[in-house]
Structure 1
Amino acid sequence: MEPTIPHRDGGGFGALFSEFTEQARRLVRAEVSLARAELRTEARKASAGAGLLTGGGGVLLLGAITFVAFLVAVLADALPLWASLLIVAAVLLAVGGAMAWSGRHRMKRVHGPERTIQTLKEDGRWASRSAHSMKSQMHGHA
């Protein structure tokens, strides 16, 4: 629904301009509020993705440390110790890789305030039409 400028008898241009600026102020406040809400939502998405990336990196580090222990065990001993270390390292690396992939996937879904940008464009078109209409009314071309 598009806001309309109420028609007032009398009062002249000053009253009409005052009404227009008040509506413009309300519109700007509403747009700022919408931008804040959108940015809050996107920040939550970014936070979740960053947490998974961090967690994935930590698990990958544990896997790398365990893999190093595996290599040491292979050189130092026979089958039982290194076999168990290999299994642990493989599981940790798989879990860490899955977490990092999931975090990266979530980070790709973070966007700017697209709705706010769209409504600002629409509001600009409305303001332009309203100003043109006011100008026409002033010159008696309504």
Structure 2
Amino acid sequence: MIEDAKVDGQAGPTTSGTPDPDRQASLGRLVEQISEQASRLVRAEIALAKAELTEKATKSGIGIGLLVVALLILAYAVGVLLLAAVYGLGTVWPLWLSALVIGGFMLLVTIVLALVGVQLLKKATTKPESIDRVRDDIASIKEGMGR
């Protein structure tokens, strides 16, 4: 018959083939400890993730604020540069004509950018072909499972 054997300090099966009760108790305790530690680890990871997200959100908010201020300054700078272009052309042409030419050029650039933007938006808002392919695949799988 099988004798009580100890492997690595653990009690082995008894002669009846049932596990040692001490070993079951310690195994249950180990499982309980693992469960506790796993839940503590998950809570700690969640807390760390929250802290990281808070820090990133703060930095992102500051970055966005700085970008808004930079864009506002850029808008004024473009206005000043356009005025300088009008005055520069005003040395060769009458001031009204130079303002008309610069304004017309700005209008032309605006129209071209708007048309390109509209075309890109139309392409972006159409339904992707992959959606139809996925629907076809799902229908094929359902049909295959039904047979």
Identify the TM-score tier after normalising by the shorter chain. 0.3 to 0.5
TM score, norm. by length of structure 2: 0.42
Q: Larger relative contact order (C-alpha < 8 A, sep ≥ 6)? A: 1
Larger-Rg structure: 2
TM score, norm. by length of structure 1: 0.44
